[in-house]
Structure 1
């Protein structure tokens, strides 16, 4: 609903450095973050811990790799209609299969149009999305797929609430409908090529160009005079543009060396990004706290006064070896990266260049027992340049990190139950956080250490019951920072969190065959609202639910048609939280009805 897909893994922000699409890093800068449309995805994979040794530049907490929907060999189609509270209306379609008259070309076309309001007064959640894809398969060993996207969206640029000096979050919205919108356009085109040379070698090449343009306007409350019942406000406008070109070349070999089964991977990749950031801010009319005259006053667009440009070039050479001998699995990978970053601050600024090189890698060893137990240990490092500048116009230093991890996985024999447990210790340098003195900027806090435990269970029974549950305990501490933050906990990161979702679908033999009922719970533990640790966010528990029905079970003429009702924050709990001193109210209850037909 706001800005982009904000992701934290093991206590570290992966939004700018840890989001990958089809194996290629997305990147982003300030407000220019590619928005990911879930309907356009085939799958989402999360790799926890540093992955720079293979994937390249990334967050030490881990990465998220989303896979775009691709053409299929068999024809299919789907249409979907949605309606929900806050005047939400959405239609989408997904069609694909062989191109008529050809036995080598396959297509897919996915589209979506949404018109919606939000729980936050005066803001929209609109989106238009179209994603054509085409695959050429001249033979069984070769494929070449073109992937593209055009997307526009309008959301809120800010959903913050005013916080008092003692940390109390009020119900006073900082933003104003008269000056509140974030308009974003993004374009994507690229290709994925794969060719099986023989039984041993496979070569791949992936390429993508991504462009994101953002125009964001919002107001914020700077102070309140309760004597006059007036809130002093400022208006902000952010005009951001971010584009990136990425090329990745790989060669993979699978072979036996005596009794050892080997999978070796070699690659060279190149990435170029360009980021243009313009910021304007100025006074806005006071808000009357008695009449709450939101939207009733004209708010002038401030002139731009801050200008920053930045280009980044990175070349990486990497290799990975995975060796299996009996129950042992050894994984080793390494990568050498060369990065050059040129920054220009101000309209007449002089470009300055900073260069960095780094070697990153991962070593992991596991043993798979016949009974399904698989203990493992690993050590990995991370490295990534950081797009943007601080409030002084200086570029950020690259972030680096290292992790040690040990864990165990257990796949129960003959039972679809997977249990996992992990303990880890991660250290990251040059961590970006919101600058509490300049909320439109970020600053590097120094060094952060995250120690934690993760437990997860997955169950999938043929009788129609599925359950996923996960618990995480984190202790994320600023080990090097400002005098008032060193030794404190990193704000906004809960010490304890728990999530579970279970769903049962009635099977044949009962009158309600095809009916599915699901319930989920999310617990977010206490955490500090600022890095000074002067106040805390209270723990909260939220519930989600789903009801769906396969209409084909009611009448065979309706085969392929389904109905679903989703509810998030089922009991409409008013959740409020702060991070780095910036506070906002959580999303209210959202109920969406979905009617789908697939053929």
Structure 2
């Protein structure tokens, strides 16, 4: 299937001109009349062994908020300065420093990422990148869209990598706004440990541990065990937020050139999907509950086995492979306010909504990487294949619920027989082949090219229509090209063009996107820091919009987001660190569709948003240990609740804070407060109920590291 299917000849010509400019720049660099480039290619000395770049070799995510390398830009571990894309990394230290307990909280201080726009709805991880739902990955292997999936446990990961913009040539089918890659905690070749106990708001009681060591004296076999157990409530009545999580891994290093890691993890959650909303225009406390206590549940059970293999053959040739098998089951059911009366009545209509789903998935990715140097040109080549097989079921229930008097609520119990409105069984097989090529000229110019083709075989049976089978076989080709110039050892500028294609819904066209981006990055050598700025023009066609209540998909034709991202992460001194981010997003529906009008803004996309977080440490003296104070502020600009642009929320500022005191060597007292001043606003509404943003949350922890 041809990727580029634009509706106007002039627009096609414009895009071809951009491609020619980028490809032309690459060609000019490749064939510039420099003496080191004009020579014929010479055979490489077989005795030369190029150093392999590894993330673990330089970045220690537990000790710094500043990352210098990433694998999300090309599936090859690369300096962030050399990556022709905007990349943000949230390290383990930053996650702990800010006390992030969810993916949404982890991403809240990242430029271009918006969160919390569904308020107290706790079913999924809700976030967008550059105005679009993001696609998520774990160790480079696809997990899927967070909307409709299960909520990830951030304590399982060493870092969270955010790749902004269209780029299906790296990880495969994805949305054009960007991707989030979670990097699993793996064994280390040293003894280490971390353990904590936490108590706090909403009756929260929690313990966690993360430790590992070598099992042999020669570092050939190491282990790591990580766990988290939580007993808590939500911020509203009749809620719960319980969790049991465990992950264990073994790494075998038979030689310095080979490693094999096997990781098993189990995630069990027993929670609730949300508050059910509040009457439109009311101002009740967040704790008020208008759902049904007897029909209010959200369950998650997932078991996962991951295998990671790496082998360096020497002479610049290496092989890497990741594989993962997972079996997940989720369900939820709740009653919500579906209509607030406008005639002065205080009786709100309600509906029941429920879902049961399961997914069994096996995915494997193998890639061969070759690094060489000839005639002043450094080359890194990657060729890979991926196979992804999944089988899932999805049952959706919906029906009317008894109305409720919101001034004196009386609960009536759960539904006796809730109608099944949708029941599908889906199987999908995806095969892909991809190549990535980096060429570095004169130690300054880096040309990057990526090509990928995905073959998708999808079959879906509708149980409500006599198991009627719908099938689609698709072939999707995507490409990207980028050019980076290292102005100095500390600064680089880049320009790139990238394409994306999202997994289709049967009966709807695949969503296709493309992005033009230019940016600059600065990484001083005087202190750990990374400053980035980028501007982009992002277009998406055949965009599918999922109604948050009914989960029915519709399309809105073509949309565009043009924007600016600014981000800074710095450890200016041993005592002071600062993170800052700002985003401007101008979204527009270009071609009208079912769910919106031309010229309107996209829903849940603020034009402006920004954040600032500062940490200051007062060094210990005498019997007093180190004290660290943290203060952060997040601004979320005004956004619309729907594509018709009829209702919206105003801009709001939320303040977070933290405090840490080392009362004994490597033992600390930690205090984290989210939404310090308990700022309250309607994060989502417009369909019959209002959903407030998360309220103030206080957590007190005792932590021991070794």
Same-fold status (TM-score > 0.5): yes
Aligned length: 578
Q: 1:455 aligns with which of 566, 591, 595?
A: 566
**Cα contact 1:491–1:527 (8 A) shared by 2:** yes
Quote how far apart the aligned CAs of 1:256 are.
Answer: 0.1
Give a deviation string over 1:21-78, Cα, whole Å, max 9, x none.
01111125863x1322111111111111122112211121111111111111112232
Quote how far apart the aligned CAs of 1:305 are.
Answer: 3.6
* Aligned 1:427-438 pairs, distance under 5 A: 427-435=539-547
RMSD across aligned positions (CA) = 2.2
Distance 1:563 1:30, change over 3 A: closer
Quote how far apart the aligned CAs of 1:126 are.
Answer: 0.9
Structure 1 residue aligned with 2:169: 53
Distance in 1 between the 2:489 and 2:367 partners? Answer: 35
Quote how far apart the aligned CAs of 1:535 are.
Answer: 1.9
Distance 1:301 1:82, change over 3 A: farther
2:589 aligned with 1:478? yes
Structure 1 residue aligned with 2:129: 9
* Aligned 1:497-576 pairs, distance under 5 A: 497-507=609-619, 513-552=625-664, 559-576=665-682
Distance in 2 between the 1:513 and 1:506 partners? Answer: 9
SS at match of 1:551: strand
2:385 aligned with 1:230? no
Distance in 2 between the 1:579 and 1:456 partners? Answer: 30
Quote how far apart the aligned CAs of 1:435 are.
Answer: 2.9
Distance in 2 between the 1:396 and 1:152 partners? Answer: 34
Give a deviation string over 1:317-369, Cα, whole Å, max 9, x none.
10111111121111111101111111122341321111211211211111112
Q: 2:178 aligns with which of 62, 65, 87?
A: 62
Q: 1:588 aligns with which of 680, 691, 695?
A: 695
- Structure number with the higher strand fraction is 1
**Cα contact 2:318–2:368 (8 A) shared by 1:** yes
Quote how far apart the aligned CAs of 1:524 are.
Answer: 0.3
Which stretch of the first structure deviates more once superposed, 403-412 or 107-116?
A: 403-412
**Cα contact 1:433–1:580 (8 A) shared by 2:** no
SS at match of 1:439: coil
Q: Which has the higher contact order (CA 8 A, sep 6+)?
A: 2
Distance 1:425 1:345, change over 3 A: same
Distance in 2 between the 1:334 and 1:189 partners? Answer: 29
Structure 2 residue aligned with 1:350: 468
Distance 1:470 1:533, change over 3 A: same
Quote how far apart the aligned CAs of 1:507 are.
Answer: 2.6
**Cα contact 1:54–1:361 (8 A) shared by 2:** no
Q: 2:554 aligns with which of 435, 443, 446?
A: 443
* Aligned 1:295-310 pairs, distance under 5 A: 295=411, 297-300=413-416, 302-310=418-426
* Aligned 1:355-394 pairs, distance under 5 A: 355-370=473-488, 372-386=490-504
**Cα contact 1:434–1:580 (8 A) shared by 2:** no
Structure 2 residue aligned with 1:85: 201
Structure 2 residue aligned with 1:153: 269
2:696 aligned with 1:578? no
Give a deviation string over 1:269-322, Cα, whole Å, max 9, x none.
1111222111122232221223122x4645435143421122211111101111
* Aligned 1:215-226 pairs, distance under 5 A: 215-225=331-341
2:139 aligned with 1:40? no
Distance in 1 between the 2:145 and 2:130 partners? Answer: 21
**Cα contact 1:235–1:301 (8 A) shared by 2:** no
Quote how far apart the aligned CAs of 1:238 are.
Answer: 0.6
Distance 1:561 1:386, change over 3 A: farther
TM-score (norm 2): 0.78
2:206 aligned with 1:95? no
* Aligned 1:213-362 pairs, distance under 5 A: 213-225=329-341, 229-293=346-410, 295=411, 297-300=413-416, 302-326=418-442, 327-347=444-464, 348-362=466-480
**Cα contact 1:161–1:170 (8 A) shared by 2:** no
Distance in 1 between the 2:239 and 2:359 partners? Answer: 24
Distance in 1 between the 2:696 and 2:205 partners? Answer: 16
Distance in 2 between the 1:176 and 1:298 partners? Answer: 6
2:135 aligned with 1:24? no
**Cα contact 1:435–1:580 (8 A) shared by 2:** no
- Structure number with the higher helix fraction is 2
**Cα contact 2:292–2:414 (8 A) shared by 1:** no
Give a deviation string over 1:172-225, Cα, whole Å, max 9, x none.
755332311111111111200000011310101110012221121111223345
Structure 2 residue aligned with 1:404: 516
Distance 1:320 1:98, change over 3 A: same
Distance 1:160 1:288, change over 3 A: closer
Distance 1:154 1:441, change over 3 A: farther
Q: 1:204 aligns with which of 320, 326, 346?
A: 320
**Cα contact 1:372–1:410 (8 A) shared by 2:** yes
* Aligned 1:123-138 pairs, distance under 5 A: 123-138=239-254
Distance in 1 between the 2:198 and 2:592 partners? Answer: 47
Distance 1:189 1:417, change over 3 A: closer
TM-score (norm 1): 0.91
**Cα contact 1:29–1:275 (8 A) shared by 2:** no
Quote how far apart the aligned CAs of 1:103 are.
Answer: 5.0
Distance 1:174 1:473, change over 3 A: farther
